[in-house]
A and B are shown apart, each in its own frame.
Chain A
Amino acid sequence: ETGVTQTPRHLVMGMTNKKSLKCEQHLGHNAMYWYKQSAKKPLELMFVYNFKEQTENNSVPSRFSPECPNSSHLFLHLHTLQPEDSALYLCASSLYRDISYNEQFFGPGTRLTVL
């Protein structure tokens, strides 16, 4: 595997289900990100992890729970979601240095549908 992979690619869940999205990066990066992409809206940054520590939570509802066990893996645990949470969830990774920009590499995304 190369780059950033995400599983599953598609997920349909009911509002009472619990599911998890997985992201894995094979690039030796130390920062990982979750984005939400909804139709006709800008990509929304949800969470940022630098060196396995969460450094950003953009007022995301608690029904989304991230987990970063190591610098190569990132999870997004989902429970009691709402239909408006249906979207494409993108994972990205990068090197992290506070004073300079480093390119983010994106995975293919998980298309989530909440019924």
Chain B
Amino acid sequence: AQSVTQLDSQVPVFEEAPVELRCNYSSSVSVYLFWYVQYPNQGLQLLLKYLSGSTLVKGINGFEAEFNKSQTSFHLRKPSVHISDTAEYFCAVTITGGGNKLTFGTGTQLKVEL
């Protein structure tokens, strides 16, 4: 079975600073990887996904992530954060050919401060 680890439960950062949210996964087979964002009192919204091809994936709101197979990581980055990026971020994985069953991490709360 696959699993996802988000080691940082909270990441505080000042506005306009860069940020990296870490995600590591475990799986014995090929995977697809995702980052979702959840704003207060809302459901989850897909930020970006890695299915195949280029290991650097660009998503919405200026976020990007890099798939590193050797390190089994899929870290999320943004070069300059805004107050509006304050939210909870979830990394998720599914195995290729596994239909739509997602396994989520515990989430990272990003708090952007002035």
Q: CA separation between A62 and B81, bound complex, in Å?
A: 44
Contact A101 B43, CB 8 Å, known A31-B100, A48-B101: no
Contact A94 B43, CB 8 Å, known A40-B9, A41-B106, A43-B90: no
Contact B43 A108 (CB under 8 A): yes
Q: CA separation between A107 and B51, bound complex, in Å?
A: 23
Interface residues of B in 67-114 (CB under 8 A from A): 90, 94, 96-107
Contact A94 B44, CB 8 Å, known A40-B9, A40-B106, A103-B49: no
A to B contact number (C-beta, < 8 Å): 57
Q: How many chain A residues touch B (Cβ–Cβ < 8 Å)?
A: 27
Q: CA separation between A109 and B38, bound complex, in Å?
A: 11
The minimal Cβ–Cβ distance linking A52 to chain B, given in whole angstroms, is 16
Q: CA separation between A92 and B34, bound complex, in Å?
A: 15
Taking a contact as CB atoms closer than 8 A, the residue among A42, A48, A92, A101 that contacts B32 in the complex is A101
Contact B43 A104 (CB under 8 A): no
Contact A45 B102 (CB under 8 A): yes
Q: Given contacts A42-B107, A101-B51, A101-B99, could you give 13 more A-B pairs where the C-beta distance is less than 8 Å?
A: A6-B43, A31-B100, A40-B9, A42-B106, A43-B104, A90-B44, A96-B99, A97-B99, A99-B97, A101-B96, A104-B46, A108-B41, A109-B43
Q: Can you name 15 A-B residue pairings with CB atoms under 8 Å?
A: A4-B43, A40-B9, A42-B103, A43-B44, A90-B44, A96-B99, A97-B99, A98-B97, A100-B97, A101-B94, A101-B96, A101-B99, A104-B102, A106-B45, A108-B42
